[in-house]
């Protein structure tokens, strides 16, 4: 597919919400190893607010902005901050008035989304956080040669899943989980896993 429409994008969001909701318990159990065990609930709540914010959207820039606003105002905590930053950042990466995006515009949008996340966390790849899924996903999206939007997002999904898997052998180095040190090794990070699920859903929805 050469163009991504608003309806395509809404389908991506809806599939992500569906898949993440189905796997919420798994994310919470991973989070309970080094945290308070609420990540499944938190990401479902946050993504629900994101999807709500997209309901009336008819062009990308405003819709992405509304989605980010909605999640940041309706919910609180780090999961919603990061997700809100992602969509606000994506809004910054597209020109106003566009209802379809070609592959290069999709790449720019996702790259800007990562910049939006970086405004809200100092975590770096290797710290065993969602950044370990997000950063490789965006790098793969940006560097993908294809002009086909689905192929671009497939590349992102593959990199996100690999990135999340790689967190199994990492030691938590950020936030409260850092206090668990060696105990955090052997399990994937909950945030990296849920974000990888989101990227996988984005690609599969097309």
Partner 1 sequence: MNKFINAPEDITKELLEGYTLAYKDIVKLGAENIVVRTNPKPLDKVAVITLGGSGHEPALSGFVGEGMLDCSVVGDIFAAPGAQRLFQALQMFKRDAGILLIVLNHSGDVMSANMACQLAERAGIKVKQVLTHDDISAGLDAPDEDRRGLAGCIPLAKIVGAAAEQGKSLDELVEIAERFNKQIATLAVAMRSCTHPQNNAVIASLPDGIMEIGMGQHGEGGSGGRTELVSADNTAEIMINQLMKKLNPAAGDNVLLYINGVGATTHMELNIIFRKAYQVLTAAGINVVDARIDEILTVQEQAGFQMILGKLDADHQDYLKNGRSNAPYWVNIGK
Residues that bind partner 1 in the complex, under the rule CB under 8 A: 65, 69, 72-74, 76, 78, 81, 84-85, 88, 119-120, 122
Report the C-alpha gap between 139 and 146 in whole angstroms: 14
CB of residue 61 vs partner 1: minimum separation in angstroms? Answer: 11
Q: How far is the CB of 201 from partner 1 (least distance, A)?
A: 25
**Smallest distance from the beta carbon of 99 to partner 1, in angstroms?**
21
Instruction: Report, in Å, the least distance between residue 175 CB and partner 1.
Output: 9
In the block, tokens 């609930």 appear at 41
Comparing CA positions, the residue from 52, 43, 5 lying closest to residue 24 is: 43
Q: Give DSSP secondary structure letters for 104-166.
A: HHHHHHHHHHHHHHHTT----TTSSSTHHHHHHHHHHHHH---S-HHHHHHHHHHHHHHHHHH
Which of 85/136 has CB closer to partner 1?
85
Q: Can you tell me the distance from the alpha carbon of 113 to that of 99, in angstroms, rounded to the nearest whole number?
A: 18
In the complex, minimum distance from the CB of residue 76 to partner 1, in angstroms, rounded to a whole number: 4
Nearest CB to partner 1, comparing residues 16 and 88:
88
Alpha carbon separation from 101 to 2, 7, 87, 97, 174 (Å, rounded): 8, 12, 16, 11, 35
* Closer Cβ to partner 1, 68 or 136, answer by number: 68
Query: Closest CB to partner 1 among 22 and 181?
Result: 181
Using the minimum distance from each CB to partner 1, give the nearer residue, 75 or 201.
Answer: 75
């Amino acid at each position: 597919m050469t163009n991504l429409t608003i309806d395509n994008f809404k389908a991506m969001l809806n599939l992500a919400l569906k898949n993440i909701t189905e796997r919420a318990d798994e994310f919470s159990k991973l989070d309970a190893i080094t945290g308070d065990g609420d990540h499944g609930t938190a990401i479902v709540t946050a993504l629900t607010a994101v999807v709500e914010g997209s309901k009336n959207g008819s062009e990308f820039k405003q819709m992405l902005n509304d989605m980010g606003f909605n999640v940041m105002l309706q919910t609180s905590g780090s999961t919603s901050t990061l997700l809100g930053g992602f969509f606000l950042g994506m809004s910054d990466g597209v020109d106003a008035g566009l209802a379809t995006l070609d592959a290069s515009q999709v790449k720019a949008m996702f790259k800007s989304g990562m910049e939006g996340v970086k405004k809200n966390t100092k975590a770096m790849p290797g710290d065993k956080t969602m950044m370990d899924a997000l950063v490789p996903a965006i790098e793969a999206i940006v560097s993908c040669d294809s002009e086909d939007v689905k192929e671009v997002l497939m590349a992102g999904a593959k990199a996100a899943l690999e990135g999340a898997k790689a967190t199994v052998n990492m030691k938590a180095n950020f936030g409260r989980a850092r206090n668990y040190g060696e105990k955090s090794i052997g399990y994937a990070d909950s945030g990296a896993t849920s974000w990888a699920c989101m990227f996988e859903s984005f690609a599969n929805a097309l």
